């Protein structure tokens, strides 16, 4: 019975996958391409021979075409594209988030359809590093601020410090207070196109560590001042004693 039910389930699963493929929700053969808002991106075809006719589409809508030795772009890509009639490469300028999606290129000179999926990313901000004491350890958190919503799943984190735990990629790092702490650690946030790095001084994560140092400096300075004043007082007292002895001798 179990084998029969699994066999009956298989056609249903395959049917669902076929429907997803048919309506463009899944594109197994698509090449991933990444671009940044307000910048440009190029879909590379790398054709070995000149193409007489070229048609680029986003989903089912025309983007650009080359036919009868003339090029043409379609809204909303007018004045934002360049179609290379030799290679078939398509470049889109001044990217917007709405440009994201599935693109296809067709030509009688090429067998089949060239398929791409474009991911449009916002400019990646620098990560923010924060720290706190947790159960005798320093917990350091590295993260991109919440207002950055552009494909956060594509953002990866890495650390740079001379300790073993920095070899692990995660958003959190722990350092024991008993260990010899590095002076500075760095965290890098990256996506497929760019990376940004921030750093933090671990000493600032320990309460009063900076104040203690300042207190010791203050005490040292205060002690020096007191010593100088004492020397001056003793010196002045010595002069007064000498003057009194001189006066007595003169009186005699």
User: CATH number of the domain that 99 lies in?
Assistant: 2.60.40.10
d(CA 227, CA 211): 24
Q: Is residue 240 part of a domain?
A: no
What's the maximum distance between 2 C-alpha atoms anywhere in the chain?
Answer: 134
Residue with tokens 């159960």: 135
Considering the domain architecture, whether residues 136 and 193 belong to the same structural domain is answered as yes
Residue 141: other Cβ atoms inside 10 A: 16
Query: Residue 135 sits in a domain of what CATH number?
Result: 2.60.40
Task: Say whether both 99 and 159 belong to one domain.
Answer: no
Instruction: Quote the tokens at residue 139.
Output: 């917990």
The per-residue pLDDT of the chain, averaged, comes to 80
Q: How confident is the model at residue 48 (pLDDT cuts 50, 70, 90)?
A: confident
Residues 135, 104 within the same domain: no
The contacts of residue 114 (CB under 8 Å, 6+ apart) are 31, 43, 45, 88, 104, 105, 106
Q: Are residues 94 and 138 in the same domain?
A: no
pLDDT (tens digit per residue) in 54-112: 999 999 999 999 998 899 999 999 999 999 988 899 999 999 999 999 999 999 888 88
Q: How far apart are CA 120 and CA 41, in angstroms?
A: 9
Of 100, 121, 142, the position where a domain reaches its end is 121
pLDDT computed for residue 238 by the predictor = 67
Better pLDDT: 161 or 179: 161
Query: Same structural domain for residues 104 and 132?
Result: no
Domain termination site, one of 87, 121, 155: 121
Instruction: Report the candidate in 38, 31, 21 with the shortest Cα–Cα distance to residue 98.
Output: 38
Given 64, 87, 121, the domain boundary residue is 121
Count: domains in the chain: 2
**Highest mean pLDDT: which range of 20-34, 140-154, 204-218:** 140-154
Q: Give the domain extent around 161.
A: 128-205
* Residue with more model confidence, 246 or 162: 162
Rounded mean pLDDT, 130-142: 90
Q: Classify the C-alpha dihedral 157-158-163-164 as positive or negative.
A: positive
138 assigned to some structural domain:
yes
Is residue 132, in this structure, part of any structural domain at all? yes
CA atoms within 13 A on the CB side of 60: 4
Structure tokens at 124: 């990646």
Is 149 a domain residue?
yes
Please give the average per-residue pLDDT across 236-241, as a whole number. 64
Residue 6 domain-assigned? no
Asked whether residue 241 is assigned to any structural domain, the reply reads no
Pair 89, 157 in one domain? no
110 with 148, same domain: the answer is: no
Say whether both 114 and 41 belong to one domain. Answer: yes
Q: For residue 180, give every residue at least 6 positions away whose Cβ sits within 8 Å of its Cβ, in sequence order, or none.
A: none
CA distance 28 to 82: 27
Clarify whether residues 55 and 94 are in a common domain.
yes
Residues 59, 76: contact at Cβ < 8 Å? no
Distances (CA, A) of 79 to 51, 58, 73, 93, 94: 22, 16, 8, 9, 10
Is 250 within the bounds of a domain? no
Least trusted range by pLDDT, from 31-35, 65-69, 159-163, 175-179: 175-179
Residue 33's closest CA among 156, 148, 132, 117? 117
| Residues of the chain above pLDDT 90, percent | 47
What's the rounded mean pLDDT across residues 108-118?
Answer: 89
Q: Are residues 137 and 97 in the same domain?
A: no
Instruction: Give the Cα separation of 138 and 174 in Å (integer).
Output: 6
* pLDDT band per the 50, 70, 90 thresholds, residue 162: confident
7 lies in some domain = no
Q: Are residues 83 and 102 in the same domain?
A: yes
CB-based burial of residue 247 (10 Å sphere; 0-12 exposed, 13-18 middle, 19+ buried)? exposed
Same structural domain, 148 and 196: yes
- What local confidence, expressed as pLDDT, does residue 86 receive? 87
pLDDT in tens, 209-229: 444 444 444 555 666 678 888
pLDDT at 26: 42
């Amino acid at each position: 019975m179990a084998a029969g039910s699994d066999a009956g389930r298989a056609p249903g699963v395959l049917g669902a996958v076929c429907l997803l493929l048919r309506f463009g929700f899944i594109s197994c053969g698509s090449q991933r391409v990444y671009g940044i808002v307000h910048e440009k991106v190029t879909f590379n075809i790398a054709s070995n021979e000149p193409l007489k006719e070229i048609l680029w589409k986003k989903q089912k809508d025309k983007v650009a075409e080359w036919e009868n030795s003339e090029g043409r772009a379609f809204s909303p890509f007018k004045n934002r594209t360049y179609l290379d009639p030799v290679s078939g490469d398509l470049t889109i300028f001044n990217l917007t988030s709405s440009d994201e999606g599935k693109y296809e290129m067709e030509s009688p000179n090429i067998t089949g359809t060239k398929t791409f999926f474009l991911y449009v990313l916002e400019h990646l901000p620098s990560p923010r590093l924060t720290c706190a004491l947790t159960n005798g350890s320093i917990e350091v958190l590295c993260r991109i601020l919440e207002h950055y919503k552009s494909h956060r799943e594509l953002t990866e984190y890495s650390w740079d410090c001379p300790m073993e735990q920095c070899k692990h990629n995660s958003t959190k790092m722990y350092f024991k207070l008993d260990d010899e702490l590095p002076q500075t650690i760095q965290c890098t946030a990256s996506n497929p196109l760019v990376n940004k790095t921030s750093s933090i001084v671990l000493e600032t994560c320990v309460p009063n560590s900076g104040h203690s140092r300042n207190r010791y400096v203050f005490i040292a300075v205060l002690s020096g001042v007191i010593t100088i004043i004492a020397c001056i007082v003793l010196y002045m007292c010595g002069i007064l004693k000498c003057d009194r002895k001189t006066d007595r001798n003169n009186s005699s």
